[in-house]
Amino acid sequence: MPEKRLRPRSRLGKYVIEKRLAEGGFATVYQARDTIEGVRVAIKAPHTHLMDDSATEQFRREVRLIASLDHPNVLPLKSADVIDGVFVIVTSLAAESLGDRLERRLATKTALTYADQMLAGLAYAHELSIAHCDVKPDNFLLFTGGRVRLGDFGIARIAQRTLRGSGAGTVGYVAPEQALGAPSVRSDVFSMGLTLWRMLSGQLPAWPYRWPLEGHDRLKRLVKEEAIDVLRRAIELEPNDRYANAAAMRSAWKRIGAKALSDASAASGRRRRTVVSTQNWRTIQRSEFKRRFGAQLETRLTCHKCEGPVSEAMAFCPWCRAERARLQEETKFPQACPRCHRGMKLDWSYCPWCYGPGFELSSPREYTDKRYTAKCGNGDCDRKLLMPWMRYCPWCHVKVKRNWKIEGVADRCNGCGWGVVGEFWSSCPWCGKGLRSLTGA
């Protein structure tokens, strides 16, 4: 009996189905609109004929486990529930999958930045003794701003138990022992090795994986031998000959670092860069700003109007005064506020960047974070922990009364009293006021 699909414009609780994105042996993925929060989401609905009572209970256990994952390179769950009789998993909507992206030419330098993020997400799971069981390009999701997130955690593990005759994983990326029904974190390492090989060389090696693998000659022209050695060890047929887990593989990869790019590729990049004038005063000014204040202020983003460096917390561009009421780039946090689109941690009850109603937590778990450097002044607040530039307490919703300062700078905005860098900025990034005159500390 064919699986019943959700039709466009049909409702599923608070979601309106817009279109079908993909369909596999275990589930169908839809793009939908959240009519309450006003954002687009991805909904994965496992096929109903596979979801008996036992499978549903397994799914609930897996979802509780995966909901506890908190890493910028792991796709967080927005929710998971039975809605109108359909078990659904709701996540943020990506721009595309890595599998889709590999249908077009991908620069080697970009691929290497992706590789580190891909390894970071899988390493985080392995450090928690969680195996993914279906590492492949289609399960790495690309978001605006260059963020890569590994999705389908737990879903692949349930599919492994539910799909009769399946060894888990996707043919072409599955490790030999996993095909025989004995997956482990070393199986994920094998699949990651093949995924990175495919991304960098343009070719997917096939059984029996005799060396040199397909695409080896092209790979040698693009990356150094040390990078190829890391991939070769990951793709060893014997599990004990591979890296013990993705964390060990990532450590080996990071030791190569920027040197992974071959001399020929690096030289090609340098030739392209020489056409850009190094005497542009604005470029020099902003580079100096980032050198001195970039890490402290986390100015990893770029203003869409003037291309000046800005941070996620800034409500205005300090270079051109363009308003940034909503974050247009991908947040570094595991989830985003539906109002301002800025990032939130999974245990925050309120958005600390904009004012509005709170949110229902999916888990009682509390997360630590080294970015907590201050405390809420509300005596009734349970946790009190604050990160720099928060406007409201994420725990009790009280407006933050302290005037945030920039370390090493005495300048303060005459409007809001928060720290500014008058040496470089023309406007306050926190309230938008011009910086013609400043208040000292």
What does 141-201 look like in DSSP terms, one character per residue?
EEETTTEEEE--TTHHHHHHHHSTT--SS-TTT--HHHHTT---HHHHHHHHHHHHHHHHH
pLDDT at 1: 41
Q: What is the 3 state secondary structure string of 194-255?
A: HHHHHHHHCCCCCCCCCCCCCCHHHHHHHECHHHHHHHHHHCCCCHHHCCCCHHHHHHHHHH
Rounded to an integer, what distance in angstroms lies between the CA atom of residue 118 and that of residue 130? 15
Query: pLDDT digit of tens for each residue in the chain (441 aa)?
Result: 445 568 888 888 899 999 888 877 677 899 999 888 878 899 988 877 766 777 677 777 777 777 888 899 999 888 888 888 778 889 999 989 999 999 999 999 999 999 999 999 999 999 999 899 889 999 999 998 889 999 887 565 555 554 433 334 456 899 999 888 888 999 999 999 999 999 999 999 988 899 999 999 999 999 999 999 999 999 999 999 999 999 999 999 999 876 777 665 555 555 444 444 444 677 888 889 999 999 999 999 999 888 899 999 999 999 999 999 999 888 888 888 989 999 999 999 999 999 999 988 878 889 999 999 999 999 999 999 999 999 999 999 999 999 999 999 999 999 999 999 999 999 999 999 998 755 554
Indicate the length of the chain as a whole number.
441
Q: Which residues pair with 34 in a beta bridge?
A: 15
112 contacts 253 by C-beta, under 8 angstroms: no
pLDDT at 64: 78
Closest CA to 313 of 390, 421, 428: 390
Angle between helices 246-256 and 108-127 (to 10 degrees): 150
Rounded to an integer, what distance in angstroms lies between the CA atom of residue 420 and that of residue 404? 9
Look up residue 402 and give its two tokens.
């302290």
pLDDT at 280: 64
Query: In which residue are the tokens 């996993």 written?
Result: 178
31 contacts 18 by C-beta, under 8 angstroms: yes
pLDDT digits (tens, 9 = 90+) for 364-411: 889 999 999 999 999 999 999 999 999 999 999 999 999 999 999 999
Structural domains present in the chain: 11-92 (3.30.200.20), 96-268 (1.10.510.10)
146 contacts 109 by C-beta, under 8 angstroms: no
CA 407 vs CA 106, 297, 392, 441: distances in Å: 40, 10, 21, 11
